[in-house]
Structure 1
Amino acid sequence: MKNASDAKKSPARPPTLEDVARAAGLSPITVSRALNTPDIVRPKTVAKVKEAVQLTGYIPNMLAGGLASRRSKLIAVVVPQINNSMFIDTIQAISDELALRNYHMLLCVSGYSPETEADIVSTLLSRRPDGIVLTGIHHSSELKKCVLNAAIPVVEIWDLTPTPLDMLIGFSHEKIGNALARFMLGKGHQRFGLIWTPDQRAALRHKGILDVFATHTGLTFTDSHVPLPATIARGREAMAQLLDRGEQYSAIICSSDTLAQGAIFEAQSRGLRVPEDVAVIGFGDLDFAQCTLPPLTTVKVDRWKIGQQAATLLADKIEGLPVAESVVDIGFTLIERGSA
């Protein structure tokens, strides 16, 4: 006969709502109310339940607990990259603002692929988020159908269109391209090099530049396309390719500050003065832009404000509060510094 110690131990089970109720000396229904609708429960009771939850290690099942209210308290956020400084402030602002409204962020990375984005969103929707933040306005038909069928609030960010899926916080990339070209032309430049990544929002800025160029005669430009992600090293390589062509450029326009900084490094390594011999301008006004030598001329967008307003719009709509504007254009500012 086997000793009890020899018997196979049954796996430990996770603590249940009933365990919390016993630890708190309350009924399960009271504990459930304290966890799901604390506003209608006495503060002392809520505090007692929280203490029991901590004591037992209970993890509330937000999907099951949210069935009555249809709330999971999760907001799904899909961005192309997390190692891109352009998106970091926006992501942090979304997280901070959602936390103030008692929501939690579920972050996913699509890698600039519409197909990957669609797969991610389909998986996220199975987790029943209360809302979704999507980067950009160019999505696959599968994603659009999936999101519309889910019938939950959606905010698109970092782009602009009068016909978003639901709500939008962004700015016009084409207008930024227009502004970049007009600024450089206003400085008297006629021979341009363009260092550019292939993502759709950068392509819109590129189009904005070429639209302005088309209205002027006598100018020349050469494109140098670099793969994603944009890095200082790739900006330097692209600048080297342009200069190795043997052509003279008076100005370099880049699709990001990181590429612009790489272009400056390469120009300086060849004895070129910035901006006297060649002017350089970027996009994004990243943290290092004002600290470079020379400081970088660039375009600033309020990345933090995009995140704050996106989170606020979602939370307001989820909670049935009025949404004054479903499309918000936060605009941009061209900041002139020493590089151009």
Structure 2
Amino acid sequence: MSRKPAVLGPDGTPTLIDVARVAGVSPITVSRALGRPEVVAAKTRQRVLDAVRITGYVPNLAAGALASSRSRLVAIMLPTIANSIFSDTVQALTERLAQAGYQTLLGLTGYDPAQEEALLSALLGRRPDGIVLTGTEHTPDSRQCLARVGIPVVEAWDLCEHPLDMLVGFSHEAVGRAVATYLLDKGYRRVSVVTLDDPRGIRRSESLAQALAEQPGVVVAIERLPVPATLATGREGLSRLLASGKAGDVVVCSSDTIAQGVLAEAASRQLVVPTELAVMGFGDLSSAAHMHPPLSTVRVDGLRIGRSIAEALLARFANPSMARTPLRLDTGFEVIERSTT
């Protein structure tokens, strides 16, 4: 596309009409290409995007949202970005929404329902088309507010009996029981846990401990540490367990990042893994299979979670009546055995 001189608005600011002139299309086509890209041919939309770049036009999204009742914005609430356990989910979710012409906004809750409530209060005034929440623990005010505004909501990375709206995730209690069964089958009877002080990690740990406690002769010790997950946190967790004499035969960690820290501390103390100390993580990060030794863990299909959330939201945007049959999707998990156990 050749560069054409733009005829700017009276204050020198490029307008939608300027974009239309440069692109050689009508203003309504520009509006559709920017607001509803799925209804515009790919070549035409590209001409419009080229014209936007040439003119420096910035769409007035607030005005567009008022006119169409659509903001083309989806808000995603994450506990943290300090480690990559949520990266696959966010990547798949944002890519699919972008293909459909939606942009995403990330908010960090710090595993704190009160912080989530504050973020929701700030965001709802901008009327996002959809909201993605990590987990199912929310304040009463958050629940009432979300029910009142009627915006499609997906709770992710969890399951519960009474979701706010749509639900895509897995059972953390089932993870705990599955890990307990795996460890018992491997012959471990002295089990220690290093978990962060986050609700889902605690639920996994408590489920694990409860399942192990049902077996005679099994000893369980839990070390709870503050968020976020770091290698230093894992090293501190193992140090505390060793100092108290509660390290046991295997250390189960609430994330692969914590497990990496435990392995680092074990190596510094010349503990042989897994003969002197076995280690198990959670999340199956891309680094888990390439550690030394490779880390046993629990695999969660973050890509599937992200894609499923995006498709659920897009389907609801296209057909709001689908709220009568809301989505309940269990994406499952898999225990992965590697050299650390």
TM above 0.5: yes
CA contact (8 A) 2:241 2:247 kept: no
Q: Measure how far apart 1:19 and its partner are.
A: 4.3
CA gap of 1:43–1:277, structure 2 versus 1, over 3 A, is closer
CA gap of 1:13–1:269, structure 2 versus 1, over 3 A, is same
CA gap of 1:23–1:119, structure 2 versus 1, over 3 A, is same
CA contact (8 A) 1:285 1:299 kept: yes
Residue number in structure 1 paired with 2:340? 339
CA contact (8 A) 1:36 1:66 kept: no
CA gap of 1:182–1:47, structure 2 versus 1, over 3 A, is closer
Whole-Å separation in 2 of the counterparts to 1:46 and 1:332 = 40
The answer on 1:214 being equivalent to 2:188 is no
When normalised by structure 1's length, the TM-score is 0.88
Whole-Å separation in 2 of the counterparts to 1:314 and 1:115 = 25
Residue number in structure 2 paired with 1:3? none
Superposed, 1:99-178 pairs within 5 Å as 99-178=98-177
For the residue of structure 1 that corresponds to 2:14, the secondary structure is coil
The answer on 1:259 being equivalent to 2:255 is no
**Worse-matched range after superposition: 296-305 or 263-272:** 263-272
CA gap of 1:111–1:248, structure 2 versus 1, over 3 A, is closer
CA gap of 1:320–1:248, structure 2 versus 1, over 3 A, is closer
How many residues are treated as equivalent by the alignment? Answer: 330
Q: Bigger radius of gyration, 1 or 2?
A: 1
CA gap of 1:49–1:249, structure 2 versus 1, over 3 A, is closer
Whole-Å separation in 1 of the counterparts to 2:147 and 2:24 = 45
Whole-Å separation in 1 of the counterparts to 2:280 and 2:138 = 29
Q: Measure how far apart 1:69 and its partner are.
A: 2.8
**Worse-matched range after superposition: 281-290 or 216-225:** 216-225
Whole-Å separation in 2 of the counterparts to 1:311 and 1:277 = 45
Q: Measure how far apart 1:162 and its partner are.
A: 3.1
Residue number in structure 2 paired with 1:189? 188
Residue number in structure 2 paired with 1:326? 327
Residue type at the aligned position of 1:278? L
For the residue of structure 1 that corresponds to 2:229, the secondary structure is coil
CA gap of 1:39–1:180, structure 2 versus 1, over 3 A, is closer
- Deviations along 1:88-114, one digit per CA (max 9) or x if unpaired, are 111111111101111111111111111
CA contact (8 A) 2:192 2:247 kept: no
Whole-Å separation in 1 of the counterparts to 2:186 and 2:267 = 21
Residue type at the aligned position of 1:287? S
CA gap of 1:44–1:269, structure 2 versus 1, over 3 A, is closer
**Structure 2: tracts of 5 or more residues without a match:** 1-9
Q: Measure how far apart 1:48 and its partner are.
A: 6.2
CA gap of 1:69–1:24, structure 2 versus 1, over 3 A, is same
Residue type at the aligned position of 2:311? T
Residue number in structure 2 paired with 1:82? 81
CA gap of 1:60–1:250, structure 2 versus 1, over 3 A, is same
**Worse-matched range after superposition: 137-146 or 219-228:** 219-228
When normalised by structure 2's length, the TM-score is 0.88
Whole-Å separation in 2 of the counterparts to 1:250 and 1:271 = 15
RMSD across aligned positions (CA): 2.5
**Worse-matched range after superposition: 29-38 or 68-77:** 29-38
**Worse-matched range after superposition: 129-138 or 158-167:** 158-167
